[in-house]
Structures are given as structure tokens and as C-alpha cells.
Structure 1
Amino acid sequence: MATKCRSIPVINIQEFSTLAEKIVKACEEWGCFRLVNHGLPMALMSEMKAVTESLFDKPREIKQRNSHPQADKGYIWYTHVYESFCLYDFTSPAAIDDFCDQLDASPHQREIIHKYVFALYDIAQLVGSKLTEGLGLSGGGGDVFRGYKCQLKMNKYNCSDETVGLSGGPLHTDVGFITVLQDDDVVNGLEMVQKLTAEIMPVHPMPGSLVINVGDIGMVWSNARLYNVKHRVQCYEPRDRFSIALFILAHKDEKVEAPPELVDFEHPRHYVPFYFEDYRRVRMLTKSGTGEALDLFSTKNSRSI
């Protein structure tokens, strides 16, 4: 049962003079925040939700065309409560068109998906640049995630009288750097673990806002300054719930490690450098859904990965 406690921070992206400071503070203390006045048009958010709903209405044989040998890179059916589509590494040429071909998306749906994906990516870039600025790092700029793998997931929670009280999936952290989430603006269900108390708290809908949260790679990159928040979705009421999430994962070719500016005598390096796919593999093999696999990459652990 979710505990009643105050909500996650709400940050106005238009307050530029304090934006970097507020984003870093929220990511350190909560691992997440709501972003408002972000510039993503409400009409586009509504259209993308409608596209998501219509794609999930397609026959199972069409939805399964989005399947992938690696479970988290394609269509997922998790029990009878949760299912999701995955558009993996959408910055690669033709990735969006391939995804739309798999699901027989209409020309209008393709247009909405194209517009939405890159509008959300621009917001992620701004958040990344402000994190870089707020941590006192140089070289942030407007393209801080150049060369990173990026993933878009569309989620449906099949909530009914029979599934109320059930979870749409286990408590988990996200594997990547940051996540930009358009959660359902009507149907409640998102829950996050408060850092200080370890209590599970509800994250109530706020129409027109986006939820930003830190993943495992973000915590490693920040030398453990940022908090990789644990979260899940519960079925609160018998109404289907939809969300769309952009995951900024990690650089395709470079090792994940904290920048030298975040490492000194008082703040020694917490993790050895590693490639993202190696970490993803270890996390899956050890079934470490809430980030426990990071301990295997700790500088205090003498074992070689």
C-alpha cells in the first residue's frame, strides 16, 4: 500500500536562472521530478497517447512483429496486466520507419511518432545539459547525449476488476541515464520509493507534465551523486492505463564512468568504467531489477567483470 507523503518536486523549465540547480537537487534528493512548461504541445501529447492506444488495439499477431530476441528490445507481454512496444535506438537511420512497418502504422500515426520522439529527445537534451551545468562540468551544450543509444517504449496496463491491486511489473530502477515519461494524465498508478524513508509513495497525475527520473547509468556517471529511483505501476482502478517513455541509455562506443571533475580525494570513484551492454547483460543474468548489479562494478569489489 502506498504511503501518504508529499509529492515529488515540480520544476518549471522556464525558470532558467535556477533550472540547473533545481534539477540537480531533485535528482540527488528524489531521483525524479515533474517537469512543467516544457514546450511539448498538449495536442501532440494527446495525439501520441491516441496513437499508442490504437497500436495496442491491433491483433496479437501484428503486435508480436515488434518482438526481439532480447526481451527488453521488443514487444513484451508481462502476465495479463502489462504489455509494451519498443522502438530501440531510434537515432539510428530508418529505426522509426522499421518500427512503424512492423505495426502497420498509418501515415498519420507515423507522422505523430516522428514528431513526438524527437520533441521528447530535445527535452531530454535540455535536462542533460542542465544536469551537466548544475554539477559544474564543462562541455555540456545542447547535444550532451550525442552518440547515446535511445529507446522509446509505449506501455499499456490492462487494469480491470480482476487486476485491481496487482502490479504492472516488479519494483525496478531504469537501466539507463535518464528517463522522460509521459504518464497517464487521468489514470493513477505510478509509485516511487522515497530516498530518505524508503517508503513507497504515489506519483499522482498532473496533466501536461512529464516525469524525469534517474537510472543506473545516471548514478554511475554522477559518481553516486544522483539517485537511481525505484518505481513501479500498480492497478488502482479498473481502467486501462497508458504511458510513453523515452530512455536515454548510454554511449554506444564509450565506457560509462564518472567525469574526472566529479572524482577527488573526498569523492573517490565509486565504480570501475564499464560498457553499457556488459552492465545490461550482468543485470539481466543476476536478475538485479533494482540496480543491485552495480555492486559488482563497485571499486570496492576486487572481482573482475
Structure 2
Amino acid sequence: MATLPVIDLADFSDENQRKKLLEAACHWGCFRVINHGISGALQSEMKAAVKALFDLPDDVKRRNSDVIHGSGYMGPTPKNPLYESFGLYDAASPSDIDSFCSTLEAPDHVRETIKRYAEKFQEAIVDIAAKLAESMGLKDQNFSDWPCQFRINKYNFCQDSVGSSGVQIHTDSGFLTLLQEDECVGGLEISDPGSDSYVAVDPLPGSLLVNLGDVAKAWSNGVLRNVRHRVECKASIPRFSIAHFLLAPKDDKVEAPEALVDSDHPRMYKSFIYDDYRKLRLSTGLRAGEALSQLLM
């Protein structure tokens, strides 16, 4: 089992805390955060709201259509038969949240919970991204206008599925993912930096999990690690998780800042448009970070 670093967001003036964050982001591509501003009560309310959405009839669920390709409802597929999810793009927009909830005919209390939760998650993910940039020596980086997406997940685990895969191995395509795990059911596994094996990451009450994606690796000129991960069925209990993705710059153009490029660290990746990169991953089936190799200088 992996013992991931835990970053205290309330104590970031400490140089050791900044060093710890950067080491975690470079070595694991994954870490936990505490004092993130999302209360345990709000997390519990959101989980209840999520369960209510997944109890909707299939024809209602499928009203959650794509805004950008792959951003709407996903039902079980042959590759991921136990997995289904809702998508909300852009999760930072109250009007988009209203549209999402209206489409699904969500009750008022569910709508208000999702709004409060999204606001808090947006504040936290922007703060974490800024702290990560600061730990790399990049000050005054503004992530507040980067598009975000919610992905609300359910793994339909049962006795017959124990030992099988809940979702295939992948990296996240965007910059940074903030995840509320299921506090009752584990199953998340990440690639071990020192081998080709995968190690379990069990939930830690009170914390949120941060994963770095492909955009983070390209934007950092290869400094940050885009972590491969998967979900395995460990128990015959449905598993829920809520992921908030910070995707890419507002103009969709991904490239390393000049401060991270010099004669000793030449630019690794060509500039690219994030939406084009998403389409490349989908068209090639290269969803575990391999698509970045096609963008090398």
C-alpha cells in the first residue's frame, strides 16, 4: 500500500511544506491535502446527492449530454462494465450547474448542495494549483479562469465482480484532479514510480486526493509526473467518488512557461491545443499518458 505525502494547505508558509509538495508531485504525481476548506458535513451531503442522481432512470441519466466530447453521462461499456458517471462542464459556472440540475430534474436541495460543493471545490483546486506553481518557483500564476469539469462516478461493485477492474488504467488528460474518495470502499491503485506494479491507495478520512495529469507534465516541461491509476473491485459494495478536474489554460493552449525552459532544460513538448489532445487520446486509445510522446519536440 502506498503511503502518500499529506500536504497541509493551512501551513504553506513553511518552506518544508513547499518542498514536500514538489517532491510528491514529481515522484508520485499524487498526494493528499488537508485543511482544504471542504467540511466533512458538505462531503456527506454531496455523497447523498450523488446517490440520488444515480438512482434516476437510465433515460433521465442520458439527458446529461456532452458539452465537449466525453463530458456528459457515461454508461457501462465492454471495457468498463462496472462504471458509470455524470459529467458537468464547466463546474465553475453557476449557470452550467443550474442547466445540469434542470436537465436531470434534480430536487432543489440536491441543486443547492451541488452548487455549494462546486464553489468550495473550485476555490480549493485553484489554491492547490497556485501552491504547486509556487513550489516550482513560479509566482503569481493565475489558474482561476482555467476551465474545470466535474466527473461524478459510481462503480457498481457486487460479489461477482470482486477482483475485477472497475475502470481501466489511465492518466487524467488535464492539469490537476481533486478527488473526494469513497470513505467506505477502497480500490484506487496508482503506478509505483519504481516499478511497473500498482499499489493501493486507501481512503484517509478528512483528506482529499490530488492527481496530476498529462497537461501538468507538458506544462511543467516534464518536471511533474502524470500518474497512471486504476480502480479495482475490493468489496461487493457500490463505490462512489467525485472528481473535479482543472483542465488547461483558458485559451486552450498548453506550453511550458519560459521560466521552466533553458539550455539545461530544453523545451520537451510542442505547444498544443488541449481539445485537440483530448481527441488524440480518444482516437488512438492512448489514455495512459502515451499520447504525449506524439508531441515531443
Q: Which 5+ residue runs of structure 1 have no aligned equivalent?
A: 300-305
**Counterparts in 2 of 1:64 and 1:254: CA distance versus 1, 3 Å:** closer
Q: What letter matches 1:24 in structure 2? A: L
Partner of 2:285: 287
Q: Aligned with 2:193: secondary structure?
A: coil
Partner of 1:85: 86
Partner of 1:11: 7
Give, in whole Å, the separation in 2 of the partners of 1:71 and 1:155.
17
Residue 67 (structure 1) aligned to one of 65, 68, 84:
65
Partner of 1:196: 194
Q: Deviations over 1:70-90 (max 9, x none)?
A: 652100012341100000122
Deviation at residue 254 of structure 1 after TM alignment: 4.4
Partner of 2:168: 170
Q: Give yes or no for the alignment of 1:258 onto 2:259.
A: no
> RMSD value over aligned CA atoms?
1.4
Q: Which 5+ residue runs of structure 2 have no aligned equivalent?
A: none
Q: What letter matches 1:245 in structure 2? A: A
Partner of 2:54: 56
Partner of 1:303: none
Residue 185 (structure 2) aligned to one of 187, 205, 211:
187
Give, in whole Å, the separation in 2 of the partners of 1:139 and 1:8.
27
Q: Aligned with 2:159: secondary structure?
A: coil
Q: What letter matches 2:144 in structure 1? A: R
Sequence identity percentage? 45
Partner of 2:41: 43
**Counterparts in 2 of 1:72 and 1:185: CA distance versus 1, 3 Å:** same
Partner of 2:107: 106
Give, in whole Å, the separation in 1 of the partners of 2:275 and 2:161.
34
TM-score by length of 2: 0.95
Q: What letter matches 2:38 in structure 1? A: L
Give, in whole Å, the separation in 2 of the partners of 1:182 and 1:63.
22
Partner of 1:121: 122
Q: Does the CA-based 8 Å contact 2:252-2:275 persist in structure 1?
A: no
**Counterparts in 2 of 1:198 and 1:9: CA distance versus 1, 3 Å:** farther
Deviation at residue 69 of structure 1 after TM alignment: 7.7
Runs of 4+ in 1 over 4 A off after TM superposition: none
Deviation at residue 63 of structure 1 after TM alignment: 0.6
How many residues align structurally? 292
Partner of 1:147: 145
Give, in whole Å, the separation in 2 of the partners of 1:21 and 1:119.
26
**Counterparts in 2 of 1:132 and 1:92: CA distance versus 1, 3 Å:** same
Q: What letter matches 1:201 in structure 2? A: V
**Counterparts in 2 of 1:221 and 1:23: CA distance versus 1, 3 Å:** same
Q: Aligned with 1:211: secondary structure?
A: strand
